[in-house]
Structure formats: C-alpha cells, structure tokens
C-alpha cells in the first residue's frame, strides 16, 4: 500500500530531467498531469510521456485538459469545437466525434486521461469560469451531449473525466481564486446540476472530477471535493458510481487557502476521492508535502489504510482499462478532422441583427484588444495582431486599431482617418469588455459595423450591434468568420 499512488502531480517543463526522473521513481506517484508548458513538439512530448511512465515504474495515468475551445493544451492538431457550439447545434453524433478528435491528439502521445468534458449546466451566463466550456443551460442537452463526448473519447482509449461534480454552472466566483457557494436544495440540484452527472454514472464513464464549491444544504462544513456526503454517500453509495473520483487541482485557492500543506488531500481521500490532483507549478516540494500529510494521516489512523488501498485499486483498474499505448494520428486523419472542425464552426456560426455587407476590396478597420487577459483554466487568448493576420487575405486593405480595454485613443484616431471605412469591432475577451468598449459601440451606431463576438457570446447582446457570434476563437472559427464575411 503506497499512498503516493493516490496523487497525480505536475512537472515544471517539457522534458523529464534526470533529477525529476529520480524524484518520480522514488515516490511512484499515481500519475502526472501535463499543462501547456509541458506540451511542445509531438516527438518531444511523446518522449516525455514515455519517460514519465518508465520512471514511475507502473501503469500510470498521464492526464491533461483538452476540452476544446479556449481550454486546450495541445494546439498543433485539430481542435475539438467548444462545447457551447456543440450545444447550439444539439447534435449528439457531433459531440461524440468531438470527443474522438480530442482523444486522437492525446493518445498519439500516450496521454490516456483527459480532464474533460465539462458537464456543468451554464445556469448563470456571468459565470467567470465555465461559459463556453458548457454544452448549455438545458440539463437534458448537457447530459446527452456531454456523455456522448466522453464516450467518443473513451472508445479511442482516453479516459474521460466529466466535471465539475456536483456542478459549477451557477456561481459568480472562480474557485481558482475563492470558495464559491451554491445555496440550493437537493431538489433544485437534482433538477438541474445533478442531471448530467447521473447520466454519466448510468453510462459508466471512467472518471468524475470534483468541484471546490460549498453546497451548504447538502454539506455545510466541506466543499464538495472534501465532502463525504457528496462523494461517498451520494456518488458512491446512493448512485452506485464505480469509476475514479479525481479532485480538481488542490492548489486552487478555494481549497488551498483553507486546507494547506496536504490537509485537503487527506480530507479528499477520506471523503471518497481516489486521485488527488496536486499542482506545484514547478515546485516539486509541494508534492512531497502532500504525500507526507497523507502518510501521517494513515499512521495516525485519521485516514484508513483500507481507504487508500481502495483508491489505488480504482486507479490501477482505470490504468488497465486505458493503458495509454500510443496510436498514430495520420496526416490524412488530421486533415479529415480539421475539415470536420471547420464544418462545425460554420454550422454553429450565427448572426445577431441585420449585418451589413462588406466590400473585400474596400478599406476595413479592425478594432481589437491587443492581448486579452487570462485567468482560471485558460491558457491562451486571441490577440489583435493574430486576428488581423487571419482576416487580411480576405480584406487586403485592412487597417488595425489596437487597444488595451481602456485607452482607445488609437482607435479614435484611425476611425477619424477612415471616415468611410467599414468597421469590424472584435471582442476577444472572456470577461467584461469594459465601459470604454461599450461606449465605443454606442458611438458606432451610424456607421457600417459588424461586431465579431469571438469568445464570450453574451457580449453581442450587451453591445447591441449587428454581430457574428462564433463560440470560439480557434482557427476553425476564424475560417468560418472569413467565409461568412466574404459570402
């Protein structure tokens, strides 16, 4: 019985150094979660995954977050669409294929666990962390599409982790920063948030990830990740779930601020979790502190050795079911998947209001944020220069006006210089665009303008301009926008 096997850890960079290899071998953790900093050229990342497994010395789970849309860790292969776009289409088979597309890009490298998809019901459109990661606001649709997505992934050998149980869709607090509270009754949760997760249990999906959220009407004392009432009593005993329960990252402040230095790991395992995700962001000592806390708890009888044995057995069973044998992702299949993703982007693209036509040979002013801020799970965003690069082949006389969300003086100057130009106002921010951009939108009322809502679709309603809404900013969505603007 090795408590380290219950911990999923992270690594600092794209290669496993000899020192890091000895560290993994010494402790034999249950697996590793890779982030964007670890994933580079395919050959290099495949070598990293192989080195991790060799160092751990057992069938290990190697994980990442390849959700689609804005949460992607591998970018050099076709991207699955945003769940929000799939939800707009309501196409179960498209959702299943999205899971396959995500899986093909991971299993090629030997990655056998994807912390996706989100089964959160997007109850609150101002939710700061879910948004386009959700299949929508209808729990029936989220359940049907989310389960299909996960099944598509698992049929190609990549274990899914549906998240964030028991639901992160009705909060205005980001659990990366603070502890959200969802004060709903059991009946309310059964009707909305729990419906997709019940479907996941019925479908025997391989793993479920917990939410760092307090549900006081179910357990007033513990966030869900640490709650025996939610993990053991509800998920295991009442619903009969037999797969892996994995925590969200324990460095998130919703848990880390209250249960530091491994205390949260002990409570999560005691509550019924099998795998604790420990992220040190390059600091391997954090993994040691968590392991030592678990070991002390077992020695003191605070955490039973039987619970640890049970958790390790659950992870070993998952690793046998999803062994992570690399499978080639051929150029022909990538081309097919890329074309499929572009088709989904075209089908899900939709308009708001009466959109004026644009002359491809005329002057077009593109207004865009220089580089929107990131937060929570988001690894990258779309900057104005990159967007202009995608649009220029279709609009060779494109002029670019960049701003930082507050200072729009360069925008005002360029608009004065080009009084007859058509205008593309792009919003590439996930969060609020700010009062300066809202005021600009009001001032553009009399001009030929199209709003490109390239991340948060709710901004289109807020600004009230004729809009194209993409549900994402990846290459497939940009190709769809160009096609629609020039049609």
Residue 173 structure tokens: 């607090």
Residue 71 structure tokens: 């949460």
**What's residue 171's pLDDT?**
81
- Cβ-proximal residues to 368 (8 Å cutoff; 6+ apart), any chain: 383, 384, 387, 388, 400, 401, 402, 403, 426, 428
Residue 124 scores a pLDDT above 90 = no
What's the mean pLDDT in 175-191? 90
pLDDT in tens, 71-89: 999 999 999 999 999 999 9
Domain residues of the chain, as ranges? Answer: 3-321, 349-486
Q: What share of the chain has pLDDT > 90, as a percent? A: 89
Stated pTM of the model: 0.96
Cα–Cα distance measured from residue 250 to residue 268, given in angstroms and rounded to the nearest whole number:
10
- Cβ-proximal residues to 439 (8 Å cutoff; 6+ apart), any chain: none
Residue 180 scores a pLDDT above 90 = no
Residue 418 scores a pLDDT above 70 = yes
Lowest-confidence segment of 21-35, 54-68, 141-155, 369-383 by average pLDDT: 369-383
- The DSSP bridge pattern shows strands 364-369 and 398-403 to be parallel
**What's residue 177's pLDDT?**
79
pLDDT in tens, 262-312: 999 999 999 999 999 999 888 999 999 999 999 999 999 999 999 999 999
What's the mean pLDDT in 152-158? 98
Closest CA to 21 of 50, 61, 62: 50
The owner of tokens 């040691």 is 288
CATH fold of 3-321 reads TIM Barrel (3.20.20)
Residue 387 scores a pLDDT above 90 = yes
CA distances from 415 to 261, 351, 364, 411, 444 (A): 54, 24, 10, 6, 10
DSSP 37: G
Strands (E), 122-187: 159-160, 162-165
Which bin fits 225, alpha (ψ -120 to 50), beta or left (φ > 0)? alpha
Within 13 Å of residue 251, how many CA atoms lie on the same side as its CB?
A: 16
Residue 349 scores a pLDDT above 70 = yes
pLDDT in tens, 28-70: 999 999 999 999 999 999 999 999 999 999 999 999 999 999 9
φ, ψ at 462 (rounded to 5°): -60, -45
Q: What share of the chain has pLDDT > 70, as a percent? A: 99
pLDDT in tens, 229-263: 999 999 999 999 999 999 999 998 889 899 998 99
What's the mean pLDDT in 12-24? 97
What's the mean pLDDT in 224-229? 97
Lowest-confidence segment of 165-174, 228-237, 368-377, 451-460 by average pLDDT: 165-174
pLDDT in tens, 315-335: 999 999 999 999 999 999 999
**What's residue 256's pLDDT?**
87
Residue 130 scores a pLDDT above 90 = no
The pLDDT confidence band at residue 378, using thresholds 50, 70 and 90, is confident
**What's residue 128's pLDDT?**
66
Closest CA to 274 of 263, 287, 265: 265
Closest CA to 453 of 138, 38, 461, 162: 461
Residue 125 scores a pLDDT above 80 = no
Residue 476 structure tokens: 């497939």
Residue 170 structure tokens: 């009705």
When the pLDDT of each residue in the chain is averaged and rounded to a whole number, the result is: 95
Catalytic positions are 176, 248
Where are the alpha helices (H) located in 283-328, listed in sequence order?
Answer: 285-299, 305-321
Report the greatest alpha carbon distance in the chain: 76
Cα–Cα distance measured from residue 133 to residue 119, given in angstroms and rounded to the nearest whole number:
9
pLDDT in tens, 405-416: 999 999 999 999
CATH fold of 349-486 reads Rossmann fold (3.40.50)
């Amino acid at each position: 019985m090795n408590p380290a096997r219950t911990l999923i850890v992270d690594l600092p960079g794209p290669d496993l150094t000899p020192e890091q290899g000895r560290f993994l071998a010494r402790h034999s953790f249950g697996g590793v979660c890779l982030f964007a900093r670890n994933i580079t050229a395919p050959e290099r990342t495949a070598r990293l995954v192989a080195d991790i497994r060799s160092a751990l010395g057992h069938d290990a789970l190697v994980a990442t977050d390849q959700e689609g849309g804005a949460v992607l860790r591998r970018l050099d292969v076709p991207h699955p669409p945003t769940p929000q776009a799939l939800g707009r289409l309501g196409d179960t088979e498209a959702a299943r294929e999205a899971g396959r597309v995500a899986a093909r890009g991971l299993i090629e490298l030997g990655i056998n666990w994807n912390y996706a998809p989100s089964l959160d019901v997007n109850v609150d459109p101002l939710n700061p962390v879910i948004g386009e990661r959700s299949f929508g606001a209808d729990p029936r649709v989220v359940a049907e599409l989310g389960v299909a997505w996960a099944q598509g992934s698992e049929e190609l050998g990549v274990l899914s982790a549906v998240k964030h149980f028991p639901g992160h869709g009705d909060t205005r607090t980001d659990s990366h920063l603070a502890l959200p509270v969802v004060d709903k009754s059991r009946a309310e949760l059964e009707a909305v948030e729990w419906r997709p997760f019940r479907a996941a249990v019925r479908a025997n999906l391989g793993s479920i990830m917990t939410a760092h959220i307090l549900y006081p009407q179910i357990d007033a004392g513990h966030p869900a990740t640490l709650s025996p009432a939610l993990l053991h009593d509800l998920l295991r005993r009442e619903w009969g779930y037999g797969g892996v329960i994995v925590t969200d990252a324990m460095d998130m402040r919703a848990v880390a601020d209250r249960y530091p230095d491994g205390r949260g790991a002990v409570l999560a395992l005691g509550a019924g979790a099998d795998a604790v995700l420990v992220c040190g962001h390059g600091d391997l000592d954090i993994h040691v502190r968590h392991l030592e806390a678990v070991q002390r708890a077992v020695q003191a009888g605070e955490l039973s050795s039987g619970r640890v044995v049970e958790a390790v057995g659950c992870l070993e069973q998952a690793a046998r079911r999803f062994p992570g044998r690399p499978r080639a992702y051929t150029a022909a299949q990538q081309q097919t998947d890329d074309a499929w993703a572009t088709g989904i982007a075209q089908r899900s693209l939709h308009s708001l209001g009466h959109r004026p036509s644009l002359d491809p040979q005329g002057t077009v002013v593109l207004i865009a944020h220089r580089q929107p801020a990131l937060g929570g799970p988001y690894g990258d965003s779309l900057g104005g220069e990159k967007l202009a690069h995608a649009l220029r082949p279709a609009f060779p006389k494109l002029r670019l006006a960049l701003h930082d969300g507050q200072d729009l003086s360069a925008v005002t100057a360029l608009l004065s210089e080009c009084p007859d130009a058509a205008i593309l106002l792009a919003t590439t921010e996930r969060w609020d665009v700010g009062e300066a951009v809202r005021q600009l939108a009001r001032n553009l009322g009399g001009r030929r303008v199209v709003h490109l809502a390239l991340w948060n679709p709710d901004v289109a309603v807020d600004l009230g301009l004729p809009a194209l809404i993409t549900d994402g900013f990846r290459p497939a969505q940009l190709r769809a926008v160009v096609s629609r603007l020039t049609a």
